[in-house]
Amino acid sequence: MIPPGEILPEEEQQEMFEHFRLVVDKGQEPDRIDRYIATHQEDTSRHRVQLAIKAGFVLVNDVPAKASLIVRPGDIIRFVMPYQRRGVEILPEDIPLDITYEDDALLVVNKPAGMVVHPGHGNFSGTLVNALAFHLGLGKGSDERMGILVHRIDKDTSGLLVVAKTDEAQMSLAKQFFDHTTERLYTAVVWGNIKEDEGTVESYIGRDPNDRLRFRNVDDPEKGKHAVTHYRVLERFGFITVVECRLETGRTHQIRVHMSSIGHPLFNDARYGGSEIRSGTIYAKYRQFISNCFTLCPRQALHARTLGFTHPSTGKRMSFAAPVPADMTALIEKWRTYVSSMKEEF
């Protein structure tokens, strides 16, 4: 569980959910489950508990609970709640947002590369949350709605995020992400020529003990979280490959870790070895070409292109797409031109 008020660095926000466990005291009088949790869990309203119960996030003695359930001494309560940043002062900032869709319940925003999602770790302004606070009309210093985001993407990854405007929408969307029923497709440029046209990487992902800002595949499920990435080749350029990645789970750095683990790190991903030449020739002309490519796309080449989910209010299935941004498009086109002029090398 994350201690109340603690702000996690952007790269450490592994999950958007807090996991709780309560054991009902021996002297506890029988009480409704929603009232018991609300009175025994700090900063949790009864309304939010009821929404969590409706979403199936609350178990009593490993059985899904109903709001009318009466808890008794010795009962073990386990529940999950979408993570709320408590005690964090947010300053609304008039930062332009690329809004793909918006209604009374939610909005979908296309985040640019370079924008941090949540304040923290030296980034207390200029974040997506600061921009959302302004857009939603939240007061200066407000922290009451910092649970509106139900998922995240890395600072240097571009693409689509859904934002909930109400507790009901947040809980519904959070449940979909938790159950892996959302659709998330990414476009990535990776090093090397992937042999298979498509494949799946499945592992447990945990923090790298030698570098707290990196994650890696681990053998022990107790030290990591289950992660599944499906990939499909879109275009080959010999020394690099353009792929589509479909997330079945959503762990921190999942695509970056998985593609690196099979020998194909994301192009220009400094944290996972992609910011150095991984395939190609040793000639100075080629090295200069790669340097120019890094300048053209000065971040990991990863874009959250498609996002699909069921609307919390209407029950309608919705899908949104954001075109690959200019830096990645220019990078891919540069490789196309290079390959067409150097066909004899392939």
Instruction: Please work out, in degrees rounded to the nearest 5, the angle formed at the alpha carbon of residue 206 by the alpha carbons of 41 and 273.
Output: 135
If you write DSSP's letter for every residue of 307-330 in order, what string do you get?
A: EEEE-TTT--EEEEE-PPPHHHHH
| Alpha-carbon gap, residue 69 to 11, rounded angstroms | 39
- Within the chain, residue ranges assigned H as helices are 33-40, 46-55, 128-135, 167-178, 254-261, 284-296, 326-341
Q: Do residues 32 and 53 lie in contact, with contact meaning Cβ atoms separated by under 8 Å?
A: no
Query: Catalytic: which of 34, 154, 269, 327?
Result: 154
Task: Return all residues near 46 (Cβ < 8 A) that are at least 6 apart.
Answer: 34, 35, 38
Q: Do residues 265 and 253 lie in contact, with contact meaning Cβ atoms separated by under 8 Å?
A: no
Tokens of 289: 């070409």
Given its phi and psi angles, is residue 114 left (phi above 0), alpha (psi -120 to 50 degrees) or beta? left
- Of 263, 196, 240, which is closest to residue 339 (Cα–Cα)? 240
φ and ψ at residue 33, rounded to 5 degrees: -60, -40
If you write DSSP's letter for every residue of 183-247 in order, what string do you get?
A: EEEEEEEEES--SSSEEEEEEEEEEETTEEEEEEEES-GGGSEEEEEEEEEEEE-SSEEEEEEEE
| Alpha-carbon gap, residue 236 to 304, rounded angstroms | 20
- Judged by DSSP in three states, 55 sits in helix
Q: Do residues 20 and 79 lie in contact, with contact meaning Cβ atoms separated by under 8 Å?
A: yes
Task: Return all residues near 25 (Cβ < 8 A) that are at least 6 apart.
Answer: 73
- Verify whether residue 98 is a known catalytic residue: no
φ and ψ at residue 138, rounded to 5 degrees: -80, 145
Residue positions annotated with a catalytic role? 154
